[in-house]
């Protein structure tokens, strides 16, 4: 299932950096990789900017950037 929620988009962007103790389904992880791979280069640039903002601790800016990204896989642990 896809979601337009920016928090789901940020989870999808950071799927490979989650805590190892979380039990994320393999299908979700694959869907996140496919979601990013299918993006246009302009969307990838925005996704990278959102991830950079998140990595710098600016979650609010990351969410504002993530709003423009295509719908992402819904985070299964919310």
In a domain, 37, yes or no: yes
Average pLDDT, the chain: 91
In a domain, 53, yes or no: yes
Count how many domains the chain has: 1
DSSP 8-34: HHHHHHTGGGS-TTS---HHHHHHHHH
In a domain, 78, yes or no: no
In a domain, 21, yes or no: no
> How far, in Å, CA of 47 to CA of 51, rounded?
6
- Is 80 exceeded by the pLDDT of residue 30? yes
pLDDT confidence bin for 18, thresholds 50/70/90: low
> How far, in Å, CA of 78 to CA of 74, rounded?
9
In a domain, 75, yes or no: no
Range of the domain at 35: 2-16+26-70
Give pTM, 2 decimals: 0.89
């Amino acid at each position: 299932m896809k979601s337009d929620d920016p928090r789901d988009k940020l989870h999808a962007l950071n799927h490979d950096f989650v805590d190892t103790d979380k039990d994320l389904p393999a299908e979700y992880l694959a869907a996140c990789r496919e979601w990013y791979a299918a993006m246009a280069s302009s969307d990838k640039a925005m996704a990278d900017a959102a991830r950079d903002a998140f990595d710098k601790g600016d979650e609010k800016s990351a969410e504002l950037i993530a709003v423009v990204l295509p719908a992402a896989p819904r985070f299964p642990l919310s």
